[in-house]
Structure 1
Amino acid sequence: MLPHHETPGSSSSTPSAGRPTPGPTSGDEAVRHRPDLQDRAAAALADAGGAEGEADGRAAPGAGPGKAPYPTAAQDARIADPAEMSAEEAIARIRKEGLTGRQLRMARRMANKHGLSPTSDIDAVRQLRLRGIDPFERANMLDLVVPDTGQEVGDRVQLPQTIPTETVPSTEVKRPAAMPRPPRHREIFEIQRDIARRRRRKLLLLAARLFVFVMLPTALAGYYYAVIATPMYSTKSEFVIQQADTAASAGGLGGLFSGTGLATSQDSITVQSYLTSRDAMLRLDQDVGFREVFSDPSIDPVQRLPEGASNEDAYDIYQDNVQIGYDPTEGIIKMEVIAPDPAVSADFSRHLIDYAEEQVDGLTERLRNDQMAGARESYEEAEERMSAAQARVLELQEQLGVLDPTSESAGVMSRVTAFETQLAEKRLQLQQLMDNRQPNQARVDGVRGDIDRLQTLIANLRSQLTTNDGEAASLAAITGQLRMAEVDLETRTLMMQQALQQLETARLEANRQVRYLSLGVNPVPPDEATYPRAFENTILAFLIFAGLYLMISLTASILREQVSS
């Protein structure tokens, strides 16, 4: 049985999926990188392929199994490299590989990326393979690293395969000497070493910056607080400002809030502001020598008041060493006084409490004076008007000569009544005499005379009540004038009584509005230094320096990014 012999152009050639594909060697790499070597290799393979084909044809009839090479060995050797076949044959074999549309599109994109001009997707695969590029192989940086054994990987698959490779007798011609593989592993190693060097340099720079800007200032602050700083003693005290009245003495909302700190919140805030003012500092310096205490050379330079310092410098020291807080919910004022000596600290605290009490009294004194002044003025005015009305009544009594016009009028009216009674009796007596047939004329004349005299007397008395005689006013006029003066006097008296009552009420109200300072915690000098707190202050300094460094670093990074973009 004759072996089946095929030519390179036979249509019944074995599909590329079933033929073995040799892996690239160092010679292949050299040929791919040099087009002149590709042309010479293609020509040599063509000549060798023809000679081997003739030899195969002559040896085939007498050859048995195992005696002759594989029938398609020469053909497979020729088609193993796309440079050894024509473009049509290569395209036909690539088409028989059954590549997917995704693979073909990937090959077209890669061909465009490498500056090729393929006529189709399959032609793109062919041209890429001619360049020694596998369009379907994923890029992997580990493939670029040569193993330490020094052996080349000759059986690595560079093209897609569908069946395992088989070892067949090779009929390839001897390729030119392979060019040495470029030392990519050395470049990668240099890159990695450069990256590591940069990382170490950045870490060293970061450590140096942290040391300079965070650790060193923190260490200096800790050394100052632990060794250099002068011990300070703190004296604490608490007091509250209260009203004189109680909740039961006030009504409405005043009684509701009088027992809380809201009733005296304004006074407490005012006292707090005064104790932290320059006036309080100057009084304290005048009374107990505040500047002299903090100018002592034994105090460290940071806390010491320099010689010849201004009032502003002394006030800064005062604010640092006198801390006053107010709790609005409870109405308690808390004061902390710091000094280099515990006795001096307690003395400062007692003097400041005295200043606060004087300030409270001064705040309420003006209110009391205003209330009392208004009530006193009203009372004095009412008293003057009552005195004037009383003087008017007395003047009318002296001028008219009547002490009590009502009594005078009553006396005149009683006399008129008595005379009218007598007149009625005389008229009755005259009527009796006239009833006689021969009345006694003398008695009749006498009775008539009495009647006339009584009538004249009654008329005179009545005229005294209502008619002026030119020398003295009538009793009616006198009574009217005196009555008006007396009514005015009574009115002024009532007004004076009301003014007096208002004065007493104002005095009571003023007493209710009096504030007084009640001391809750007495200033007691400490027996141990309160400040400085070395550990807490050092931790706080570390956090502050670290926060500042972090903010500055973030700001600088953002600015660099903005400038570079």
Structure 2
Amino acid sequence: MTTMPKAARYRIRRAGAAPQPAPQPKAGTNLHSVEELLRRRAKRGEVLNATQHAAQTAEENQAPPADPQSEQQAAPAAAPRANANPQQPAPQPPAAKRPEPPEALFEPEDDGFGDERFPTAAPVGPGSEVLGPNERTAEEDIEAIRAEGLTGRQLRLARRTAQKYGVEATSDFEAVLMLRRRGIDPFDRGALLALEKSNQEAVAQATAAATPAVVGGRGSATTKALARLDGAGADTRVQLPQTMAPGQLPAPQGAPPLDEGARAREIIRIQRDIAKRRRRKLLLLAARLTFFVFLPTLLAGWYYFVIATPMYATKTEFVIQKADSMGGATGLGSLFSGTQLATNQDSVTVQSFLQSRDAMMRLEADKGFKEHFAQEGIDPLQRLDPDATNEAAYKVYKRNVKIGYDPSEGIVRMEVVAADPQVSKAFSEALISYAEEQVDRLTSRLREDQMRGARESYEDAEAKVFAAQAKVLELQEKVGILDPMAESSAVMGQVTAFETELQKKRLELGQLLDNPRPNQARVAGVQGDISRLESLISDLRGQLTERTGSTESLASVTGQLRIAEAELQTRQGLLSAAAQQMEVARIEANKQVRYLEMGVRPVAPDEPTYPRAFEDTLLAFLIFSGIYLMLSLTASILREQVSS
């Protein structure tokens, strides 16, 4: 990048003006000292402005038109630049005009630094400087400053500070280095503000001092001196001669420009107004917080610590278990049997029952729930009216009886709160008994249905067995035969014996007839025996198959008895199956039984459990703070929407 050439700069100095050093600003100047300084400068600026105005009026009446080039050269003499070095002596108005010879105008002026070298001065020559063992070069210092990790804002502030002090630097890091070598904090805003005000005061003083000596904008050799400023404290603004005089346009009628005193007073007024508004906003914020947050929290704490009635809580834990199966369970039934998954529905049902109005009504009938919470010793917020309705009592019941169920463990937790520890324990025991009854009632219908069907089947089979036995007995009494099979066997035995005798007689008759001269008497006797045996056998066979008079045949009686006995055997088998089925139903019904097993039994507490005064007060504070925050955010959003 091409560097712009530097133009020669000159400073117009009043001859005989005693140089006075400008006030050096100090870092950390407080507000009161700055205000006092501004007041003094304002008073002094008013006097200077009046003098300047009088001198300018006299010049306008006497001077010819001004030369633009002379005005350009005289412009630097009107005032030092705002970024001039405050350590340089600032020109002050002379006590009286003293004529000087013309040749003395261009004599060099001592700047007050003597032989001191400037940080930006070029080295005298190679090898002219020898660094000490603990000294570093400028490049090393700049690299160290780069390693500090300064932000862009800090670098810009350092650049502005260097410009105000008249330090010429090629980079922001070099400006930081040069300011530090001069003992100036490059990041002090207070020093920068004080320096700006000091420069403005110096400008006003120089303008008031130079105005009477200017005639038509042309500098006189007896009243001005030119000094070239190329070093520290030089004006960094580019000053070129004007090609033409600016036109004097009529300015609109308005407020006159503020002088230093008015500007200082305006700044002080604005600062006070800002501080006043800030205090007013803080007071309004404190009032809103007090009204919406602190006062309600104080009332809540006063209630919890002073008014609230001590309450005693009795805690109980129980689990609902299922009877183990008597073997034979397979699959998912055996996997989930006896776990909380098998009784999850029952636990939820018991929890709902204990939180229902039914449980509250039973507790009221057995233990006097309403009467206990309607006592005069209970605070008004927790007290129940003596003639309260069931709905009001139910609200108090839900607030003081808390039921919780843990599905992962299958445990039902119950907490009963009352004004007396023994009453709290009694309420808890009563609710546990209600829960046991409810658990037993859940499976009683299922068990009764199962046993009722098996019992009816058994009774029907038993009745039919009795009917079959009665029929067999009736047949036996009707035919007069106890055992038809035995009777048939006896008759058949007789028939067999007679047939055997008949065969013998026939053989004997055959032997007699084989003789040439058989004995007729014996033949006739044998033949008579044969005919009698045949008649007897025929009668016996007729008894087995033929009906004689009102007597049934033995075969018919045997058949009827066999049918009746077969039916009896069938009914007896059905009766055995029904009995077995009833036994199985009884076993299954026993499996459906639920047991309420106590994990933590109710014990009366000896210290009040509620209220937790500190925790409840802190919770009230958080709640009121959240409400106020939401309301304030909503109001600010609505205000912004309406204003836009």
Same fold (TM > 0.5): yes
Partner of 2:66: 44
Q: Quote the Cα distance in structure 2 between the aligned partners of 1:436 and 1:241.
A: 108
From the superposition, tell whether residues 201 and 272 of structure 1 become closer, same or farther in structure 2 (CA, over 3 Å). same
Q: Do structure 1's residue 500 and structure 2's residue 579 form an aligned pair?
A: yes
SS of equivalent to 2:364: helix
Equivalent residues in 2 for 1:14-413, closer than 5 Å: 18=7, 20=9, 43-45=65-67, 146-147=197-198, 150-152=201-203, 159-160=237-238, 181=259, 187=266, 190-243=269-322, 245-246=323-324, 249=327, 251-252=329-330, 253-413=332-492
Q: Judge conservation of contact 2:313–2:608 (CA < 8 Å) in 1.
A: yes
- Once the two structures are superposed, residues 339-360 of structure 1 have per-residue CA deviations (whole angstroms, 9 ceiling, x without a partner) of 1112222222222222222223
Partner of 1:549: 628
Partner of 1:435: 514
Q: Quote the Cα distance in structure 2 between the aligned partners of 1:189 and 1:420.
A: 161
Cα distance, 1:236 vs. partner?
A: 1.9
From the superposition, tell whether residues 227 and 455 of structure 1 become closer, same or farther in structure 2 (CA, over 3 Å). same
User: What amino acid does structure 1 have at the position aligned with 2:636?
Assistant: S
SS of equivalent to 1:298: coil
Cα distance, 1:179 vs. partner?
A: 7.4
- Normalised by the length of structure 1, the TM-score is 0.69
More helix by share: 1
SS of equivalent to 1:318: helix
Q: Quote the Cα distance in structure 1 between the aligned partners of 2:69 and 2:594.
A: 125
SS of equivalent to 1:334: strand
Equivalent residues in 2 for 1:444-455, closer than 5 Å: 444-455=523-534
Q: Judge conservation of contact 2:325–2:591 (CA < 8 Å) in 1.
A: no
From the superposition, tell whether residues 48 and 150 of structure 1 become closer, same or farther in structure 2 (CA, over 3 Å). closer
- Once the two structures are superposed, residues 66-104 of structure 1 have per-residue CA deviations (whole angstroms, 9 ceiling, x without a partner) of 86999xxxxxxxxxxxxxxxxxxxxxxxxxxxxxxxxxx
SS of equivalent to 2:404: strand
Cα distance, 1:195 vs. partner?
A: 4.1
After TM superposition, the structure 1 stretch with the greater mean CA deviation from structure 2, 364-373 or 225-234, is: 364-373
Cα distance, 1:286 vs. partner?
A: 2.0
From the superposition, tell whether residues 448 and 313 of structure 1 become closer, same or farther in structure 2 (CA, over 3 Å). same
After TM superposition, the structure 1 stretch with the greater mean CA deviation from structure 2, 183-192 or 522-531, is: 183-192
Q: Quote the Cα distance in structure 1 between the aligned partners of 2:237 and 2:63.
A: 20
Cα distance, 1:229 vs. partner?
A: 0.6
Partner of 2:551: 472
From the superposition, tell whether residues 221 and 482 of structure 1 become closer, same or farther in structure 2 (CA, over 3 Å). same
Identity of matched residues, % = 59
- Once the two structures are superposed, residues 453-488 of structure 1 have per-residue CA deviations (whole angstroms, 9 ceiling, x without a partner) of 323332332333333446333322222221111111
Structure 2 residue runs without a partner (length 5+): 13-47, 53-58, 72-101, 107-191, 207-232, 249-255
- Once the two structures are superposed, residues 510-554 of structure 1 have per-residue CA deviations (whole angstroms, 9 ceiling, x without a partner) of 233322333333322222211111111111111111122222223
Root-mean-square deviation (CA, aligned residues, Å) is 4.0
Cα distance, 1:433 vs. partner?
A: 1.9
Q: Quote the Cα distance in structure 1 between the aligned partners of 2:345 and 2:258.
A: 95
- Normalised by the length of structure 2, the TM-score is 0.61
- Once the two structures are superposed, residues 128-182 of structure 1 have per-residue CA deviations (whole angstroms, 9 ceiling, x without a partner) of xxxxxxxxxxxxx979975487332779958546xxx9xx9xxx99x99x97658
User: What amino acid does structure 2 have at the position aligned with 1:494?
Assistant: G
User: What amino acid does structure 2 have at the position aligned with 1:278?
Assistant: R
From the superposition, tell whether residues 332 and 454 of structure 1 become closer, same or farther in structure 2 (CA, over 3 Å). same
User: What amino acid does structure 1 have at the position aligned with 2:450?
Assistant: Q
After TM superposition, the structure 1 stretch with the greater mean CA deviation from structure 2, 432-441 or 287-296, is: 432-441
Cα distance, 1:189 vs. partner?
A: 5.1
From the superposition, tell whether residues 482 and 18 of structure 1 become closer, same or farther in structure 2 (CA, over 3 Å). same
User: What amino acid does structure 2 have at the position aligned with 1:246?
Assistant: D
User: What amino acid does structure 2 have at the position aligned with 1:288?
Assistant: K
Q: How many residues align?
A: 444
Partner of 2:498: 419
SS of equivalent to 2:598: strand
Q: Judge conservation of contact 1:247–1:256 (CA < 8 Å) in 2.
A: no
User: What amino acid does structure 1 have at the position aligned with 2:67?
Assistant: L
User: What amino acid does structure 2 have at the position aligned with 1:152?
Assistant: V
Q: Do structure 1's residue 491 and structure 2's residue 567 form an aligned pair?
A: no
Q: Judge conservation of contact 1:294–1:304 (CA < 8 Å) in 2.
A: yes
Structure 1 residue runs without a partner (length 5+): 1-14, 31-36, 50-65, 71-140
Q: Quote the Cα distance in structure 2 between the aligned partners of 1:47 and 1:340.
A: 102
